[in-house]
Amino acid sequence: MINYISTRNSNISVKASEAVLRGQASDGGLFVPQNLEDLKIDYHRITNCDDFKSMAAAVWNLFLDDYGSGVITELVKKSYEGKFSSEKVTPLVKVNGAYVLELYHGPTSAFKDVALQALPNLLTKARSMNGVTDEIMILTATSGDTGSAALSGFSGVDGTSIVVFYPDGGISETQRLQMVTDAGKNTSACAIRGNFDDAQNGVKKIFREMPRPAEGISLSSANSINIGRLVPQIVYYFSAYRQLLDMGSIKDGDLVDFVVPTGNFGDIMAGFFARCMGLPVRRLVCASNKNDVLTEFINTGHYNRIREFHKTTSPSMDILISSNLERLLYYICGEENTASYMKQLEETGEYQISDAELKAIQDVFSAACATDAEGAAAIKDVFESENYLMDTHTSIAWSCLDKYERKEGVPSVVLSTASPYKFCASVLSALGLEVSDSDRKNMEVCHEYTKAEIPAGLADIWDKEILHNDLINPKEMMSYVVEKSMKSR
């Protein structure tokens, strides 16, 4: 059985279902499988599966072994059957010499759906497996896409409630409307006066200081700090490889590069786990926007969040504290150094890893960053040359294709994390079209000009009633959670 330990203290050890249930370790660390060797398999066990759901079952059975294979099969079916507009769930498309892995065909048109249609099922099953009678309150900080995907996934799920915090003015209007119109009786969305890091730090503080905000209420997380969020994301790396094989673009055993638009380091960390399992991955390329803290870290070993925060056209990547990087640090640096680095980050805002540690990271990861202007140019160039429309996050990753050392004969797969219709104003601007003050009008114009299909989940958000109007300061987050806890009892 795989043990999950804290990245900061291996004496904190739990089984998989407990790690999913808790979300975060009691010392502030993140749960990780203790030994990467336990994850190594013949990758054909997954790539030879018939479809995405059977691949998911194979991956989940490895990481979440205490659930049992019968339960896993049932939960996978419940998570994905009829939920995605593509039969492949995450289809791969060839675009101008590279490949785009479309991760946005779920209910909220973002890659988070792949995990957040699964997490509620994993968590509620973990609750019953571990004899927990408390209601589980999900706390989530979002830079845009996690919030709507989490609200969609947990809406109406028995034994749970969910509170999502998002930065006021720091997400697109479409993203905001997806959250504030959610009609679930157990859901809440609240804006904070600050940026994503303020929201994320506030959530982490609540977990540390107040794990039970009211009698009969326990906390868990839907952010990628929860291992139950991360495991489902591993699957689409294997699915991409299988699709490359089916296209005849690679031969079995050939290496592949993955270029990942990155903010909180969760999506690319899932790729690291896939590589550790045995998937033939050459490079994992961390693509950042102007908030280039990860680019600097992977290139120099210096992590420094003390820098200007930029609001960009790729808001889901506007992050200066990338929580999931802590998981990579554990495997590269060990628990003592990881705990020390995290303490330095909290107290001083920066840390420097050793040369040997940096080399170990650079053996697997490359990093590059791109500006809004470069992303916009990519949107325009790819649409005009290939009639393919990408969003502002995918375009950042696309812009980084020529900024890392590619190897001839090794295909590059760009992870596309959201529908372009979630960021219509920026997409229209990139195409050189007039932008309206109305996102609804922008969506209509975008459709008329590009003929790209509007996802069903976005087409009707303009007519829905706004149900969540709360706006608070970050210091008020704890009292807000207590108030919500009392009301949900």
Question: Domain containing 332 — which CATH number?
Answer: 3.40.50.1100
**Catalytic residue IDs:** 112
Mean pLDDT of the 205-229 span: 88
Mean pLDDT of the 456-468 span: 92
Mean pLDDT of the 115-129 span: 95
Instruction: Return d(Cα 298, Cα 367) in angstroms, integer.
Output: 6
**8 A C-beta contact, residue 335 and residue 10:** yes
Q: Quick one: pLDDT band at residue 487, thresholds 50, 70, 90?
A: confident
**8 A C-beta contact, residue 54 and residue 102:** no
Residue 232 pLDDT greater than 80, yes or no: yes
Q: What are the tens digits of pLDDT across the range 396-448?
A: 999 999 999 999 999 999 999 999 999 999 999 999 999 999 989 999 999 99
Residue count (the chain) = 489
Mean pLDDT of the 60-74 span: 98
Identify whether 8 is part of a domain: no
Mean pLDDT of the 362-367 span: 98
Helix (H) or strand (E) holding 450: helix 439-450
Query: What pLDDT is stored for residue 488 in this prediction?
Result: 66
Identify whether 130 is part of a domain: no
Residue 251 pLDDT greater than 90, yes or no: yes
The SS3 assignment for 90 reads coil
Domain range enclosing 424:
92-108+228-453
Instruction: Return d(Cα 240, Cα 99) in angstroms, integer.
Output: 9
Identify whether 53 is part of a domain: no
Query: What pLDDT is stored for residue 250 in this prediction?
Result: 98
Domain count, the chain: 1
Identify whether 13 is part of a domain: no
Instruction: Return d(Cα 356, Cα 39) in angstroms, integer.
Output: 24
Closest CA to 403 of 285, 300, 313, 301: 285
- What is the percentage of the chain residues whose pLDDT exceeds 90? 87
Identify whether 377 is part of a domain: yes
Q: Quick one: pLDDT band at residue 210, thresholds 50, 70, 90?
A: confident
- What is the percentage of the chain residues whose pLDDT exceeds 70? 100
Residue 305 pLDDT greater than 90, yes or no: yes
Identify whether 427 is part of a domain: yes
Query: What pLDDT is stored for residue 379 in this prediction?
Result: 98
Identify whether 232 is part of a domain: yes
Identify whether 75 is part of a domain: no
Query: What pLDDT is stored for residue 422 in this prediction?
Result: 92
pTM, rounded to two decimals: 0.93
Looking at every residue in the chain, the average pLDDT score rounds to 95
Closest CA to 238 of 222, 224, 223, 258: 258
**8 A C-beta contact, residue 299 and residue 292:** no
